[in-house]
């Protein structure tokens, strides 16, 4: 199931976009879970990177679509963004925020389906690189590309990501199975590191930018071997 956010201040336009999604779901045999927001501020208020596709009106009171998109990209660089607008010249600025496309109002179901098929293809590919985690309150879809390292905290695992920290009740062993990628390596019993984020190794520490994580003596040989294989392009 693909998660879609509609940011539209006009209820009739939002309802029409929902009907277009229903049409596309039937035509492409896909399922959508749709969440509506009446403003950019409402959308950004408690944002979590759970959406696959964002359909955003540009002309909104208060924070307009371009301003909302710029703020969104500070929190989520991977979500697929498509503008919906009355004025094409505004949408042409979409390259500034890495918008995939734009749809002109009034939205026809045919044009909508045509523009969204490309987005669907990318969203499905990106879902192959997603993991689902269940926190105390919600379930989130985390992109593997954003996960920097995992840390054991009692009976919980903290996923440290570029989008923030997320905590799940799970063992490190089971979390590692969920990740199922060779570029995650243990540097000690309590830490699992994404080697793509490693910027260096100094003594008994592995560096991830400003973060310095300890490498345990029993784990050091294996960790350095995995890192060397990763750097050499084996993984």
List the domain boundaries for the chain: 2-127, 141-231
Look at residue 203 and tell me whether its pLDDT is greater than 90.
Answer: yes
Higher pLDDT, 235 or 130: 130
pLDDT bin (cut points 50, 70, 90) of residue 185 is very high
Number of Cβ within 10 Å of residue 119's Cβ equals: 21
Distance between start and end Cα atoms, the chain? 30
pLDDT bin (cut points 50, 70, 90) of residue 128 is low
Q: Are strands 53-57 and 130-134 parallel, antiparallel or unpaired?
A: unpaired
CATH 3.40.50.2000 fits 2-127, yes or no: no
Look up the CATH number of domain 141-231.
2.40.50.1020
Across 44-80, b (16+ Cβ under 10 Å) vs e yields beebebbbbbbbbbbebeebbbbbbbebbbeebebbb
Number of Cβ within 10 Å of residue 108's Cβ equals: 12
Can you give the pTM of this predicted structure?
A: 0.60
Look at residue 234 and tell me whether its pLDDT is greater than 60.
Answer: no
């Amino acid at each position: 199931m693909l998660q879609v956010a509609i940011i539209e201040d006009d209820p009739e336009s939002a309802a029409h976009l929902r009907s277009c999604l229903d049409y596309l779901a039937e035509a492409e045999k896909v399922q959508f879970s749709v969440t509506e927001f009446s403003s950019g501020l409402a959308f950004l208020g408690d944002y979590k990177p759970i959406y696959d596709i964002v359909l955003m009106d540009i002309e909104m009171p208060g924070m307009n679509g371009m301003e909302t998109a710029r703020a969104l990209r500070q929190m989520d660089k991977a979500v697929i963004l498509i503008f919906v607008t009355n004025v094409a010249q505004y949408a042409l600025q979409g390259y500034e925020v890495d918008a995939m496309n734009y749809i002109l109002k009034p939205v026809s179901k045919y044009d909508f389906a045509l523009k969204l098929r490309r987005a669907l293809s990318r969203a499905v590919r990106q879902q192959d690189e997603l993991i689902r985690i269940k926190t105390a309150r919600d379930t989130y879809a985390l992109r593997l590309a954003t996960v920097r390292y995992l840390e054991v905290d009692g009976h919980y695992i903290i996923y440290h990501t570029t989008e923030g920290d997320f905590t799940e009740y799970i063992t490190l062993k089971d979390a590692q199975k969920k990740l199922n990628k060779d570029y995650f390596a243990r540097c000690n019993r309590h830490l699992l590191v994404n080697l793509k984020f490693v910027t260096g190794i100094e003594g008994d520490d592995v560096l991830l930018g400003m973060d310095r994580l300890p490498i345990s003596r029993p784990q050091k040989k294996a960790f350095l071997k995995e890192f060397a294989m990763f750097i050499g392009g084996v993984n």
